[in-house]
Structure 1
Amino acid sequence: MRRLLLLALVGLGAQLVDGSLGMAYGVTSTTLLLAIGTNPAAASATVHLAEIGTTLVSGASHWKFGNVDWKVVAKIGIPGAVGAFAGATFLSGLSTETAAPLMSIILLALGLYILVRFTTFGLPKGNLGKPLRKRFLAPLGVVAGFVDSTGGGGWGPVGTPAILASGRLEPRKTIGSIDTSEFLVAVAASLGFFVGIGSENINFTWVAALLIGGVIAAPLAAWLVRHIPPRVLGSAVGGIIILTNIRTLLRSDWIDAPDNVRYTVYAVIYVVWAAALAYSIRAYLANREQERLDLETALASGPTDDEKAATPAP
């Protein structure tokens, strides 16, 4: 019973973070299952089965709050499902330890870009509103879906930073669209695992516990992402990406850093991340106050000559 309660709490916390920042449900939940002795394929299958429910509720919640771009969902979700099914069916037994550090370097670079860009300048607006092309989203979806099913998580960590870095979709819609399209990935991966390993290795009670926690958190996360300012949200996402991928690199065979080195690096990252978030919040509040003063000044000065000329005579 204690283990089931822990799984439910992990599902709740993981979905709260995932629905707010566009990543971490799979990685967090799979890590716990592996820590208690579940084999990798069964752990990934368990998480993806739970994600069918959590992503459905999360997607509906994001849609309700206007956080979803359905064109992006279709362009990235369908290729993502193909990649997830292939990974789960044919490659679930293949270790991704060799590829993980290389992927982490790429994601780390994207995370640094996002953290610096959003913290320093706020939401990039040069490309905002421009369409995201299928030739960009389709390969991204296949790779993210493959990594997600073989690694027990990765749809958000791969998809979210790549779309954010393009500057074409605001953070809340990036996160909402990634979370919504993950439903297709979860269904495809689950089908692939049923074909590859069957259902006998899956503990459906654990699936239910993770699902219940995630379903409870999904609507709250969708509400949060709509109300958190884009500048602050971008800084938060950037920090999560950096921390996650630094952890992967330091624990990989490439580096295999000792505990004292890893904990020191983590502490430095936390301090820098906290400072970046504080700066983003102060800058956002200052900009909002300036906008309020500008509006009051404009109202006090009355209509401009152009506005007077455009006003029809009585």
Structure 2
Amino acid sequence: MEGNQLFPVFIKLNTIHTLLIGAGPVGLEKLSAILTNSPEASVTVIALDILPELEELARGYEKVKLIQRAFSPADLDDADLVVAATNNDALNQQIRTEADQRNLLVNFADKPELCNFYLGSIVKKGDLKIAISTNGKSPTIAKRLKEVLNDNLPEELNDTLQQMQALRNTLNGNFSAKVKKLNEVTAILVKEKSEDKVKKNFKWLIWTSIVFSFGIVITAFWHKEPEFQAYISQLNPMFYWFLIGGFIFAMIDGAIGMSYGVTSTSFSLAMGVPPASASMGVHLSEILSNGIAGWMHYRFGNVNWKLFRILLIPGIVGAVVGAYLLSSLEHYAHYTKPLVSLYTLILGGVILSKAFKVNRKHKDPKGKIKKISLLGLFGGFIDAVGGGGWGSIVLSSLIAGGRNPRFSLGTVKITRFFIALMSSLTFITMLNGAHWEAVGGLVIGSALASPIAARVSNKISVKTIMVSVGVLVVLVSLRSIVNFILKLV
């Protein structure tokens, strides 16, 4: 018979004794896979040379025992399951022969012809566990499938399992009655098809809003700033600096989900742009960039629509109030500029602190953040006043509160589009003039980077980028503050 004839099983390794032979890089990989899936597994590792990383891993598990010596057939006497991670063909053959005599199942690294069983790639979402096997033909394909499933199966799936178990425990009656009740509960999944139609129409809302908002923006530019026409024929050199800056800042934002506002605002202040005009430039550029990024995340299925609805209105209200307040103080830009620089300095420090925590795993989060509407209101207000902070405040809080990073990023991006739109219209209404060369550069540069940034968000070293951004923001902010103090002196 052709095809995969393997019979899949899930073994309770905490009830048996596993013997791992070999403690090099492959042995480390095997032990890590065992302990990741079964932390209470009883494992004995035997090898002449033990990798320091394996020793460090074993120290965290009481039931892992390390023995540094050569393999002996007697080692198999107390084993229930054997994993061989050696590159010695003669030793592998000996292990197979001795294991057969004891009726033991053995797995050999990269030796499918010697194996009694294979270790598949594992996808884990709480209590849900999926094992993938290619019948030993291509471990690489199994790993790629694992990555696809890990990226596309939501973390909330484990919540569904817990709720279904709780429901099952409350059901009474025979099997037929239980099935009927479960069908009633899961019927809501069918209704989601109609909701999908609504979501498909969401793209028209985004693109219509983009066209409408830019029509308003261009009209406002044309009437409010007579010099705007002159920029079309002869652009100020500042335009090109902000074009490059907008592209770079949008790429950074796409990679780590934050920092576009704080980097753009810090850069604008350093280039002599007043706080209100700087914030307006940031938000105008974010209309198109976040519209495109939000659309890309929507296409990738990265949007939590319930979270979107909760964040949207409070975020808009906070942004409009903040934009109105900052615009009213535009005549006092000499005094508000150091305050905004102080704010960006603090955000720079926050980014740096997060950079060194980005790889730490929070095993037991206290629970998901509850007051999301207040978070949106506060984030929108601070974002408008300081020219940035929506991502740093809202996205960071959502992830720290235990929400899925990918869905949080997509939702924050698409919500940011509407917040940027409303705060920009407020700035345009309130301000009589602005640095249009800076605004235009940011708008075009960030728009060019947005489709690229959404695709590479998972392919760049987050820590390196966050450290670089944090240092840059801190230095630029300090420069503005020091210049202000020197002028006073």
* TM tier relative to shorter chain: 0.5 to 0.7
Q: Assess if the C-alpha contact under 8 Å between 2:368 and 2:398 holds in 1.
A: no
Query: 2:51 maps to what in 1?
Result: none
How does 1:25-104 map onto structure 2 within 5 Å?
25-92=260-327, 93=329, 95=336
Q: Cα gap change, 1:213/1:103 in structure 2, threshold over 3 Å: closer, same or farther?
A: closer
Bigger mean CA offset, 54-63 vs 34-43: 34-43
2:456 aligns to what SS in structure 1? helix
The answer on 1:7 being equivalent to 2:239 is no
Amino acid at match of 2:451: P
- 2:376 is matched with which residue: 123, 136, 141? 141
Q: Cα gap change, 1:57/1:161 in structure 2, threshold over 3 Å: closer, same or farther?
A: same
The offset of 1:157, in angstroms, is 1.9
1:225 aligns to what SS in structure 2? coil
1:187 aligns to what SS in structure 2? helix
Distance in 1 (alpha carbons) for counterparts of 2:262 and 2:451: 20
Larger helix fraction of residues:
1
Distance in 1 (alpha carbons) for counterparts of 2:311 and 2:253: 18
Distance in 1 (alpha carbons) for counterparts of 2:393 and 2:247: 22
Deviation string, structure 1 residues 52-74 (Cα, Å, up to 9, x no partner): 11111111122223333232232
The root-mean-square deviation of aligned C-alpha atoms, in Å, is 3.6
The offset of 1:164, in angstroms, is 2.2
The answer on 1:186 being equivalent to 2:420 is yes
Q: Cα gap change, 1:190/1:59 in structure 2, threshold over 3 Å: closer, same or farther?
A: same
TM-score calculated relative to the size of structure 2: 0.43
The offset of 1:132, in angstroms, is 5.0
- 1:173 is matched with which residue: 403, 407, 428? 407
Distance in 1 (alpha carbons) for counterparts of 2:347 and 2:272: 30
Bigger mean CA offset, 79-88 vs 63-72: 63-72
Show structure 1 runs of 5+ residues with no match: 258-314
Larger strand fraction of residues:
2
Q: Cα gap change, 1:49/1:249 in structure 2, threshold over 3 Å: closer, same or farther?
A: closer
The answer on 1:217 being equivalent to 2:449 is yes
The offset of 1:27, in angstroms, is 2.1
Q: Assess if the C-alpha contact under 8 Å between 2:285 and 2:439 holds in 1.
A: yes
2:452 aligns to what SS in structure 1? helix
Which one has a bigger Cα radius of gyration? 2
Q: Cα gap change, 1:15/1:103 in structure 2, threshold over 3 Å: closer, same or farther?
A: closer
Distance in 2 (alpha carbons) for counterparts of 1:29 and 1:150: 14
The offset of 1:16, in angstroms, is 0.5
Q: Assess if the C-alpha contact under 8 Å between 1:107 and 1:245 holds in 2.
A: yes
Q: Cα gap change, 1:249/1:194 in structure 2, threshold over 3 Å: closer, same or farther?
A: closer
The offset of 1:9, in angstroms, is 0.9
Aligned length: 244
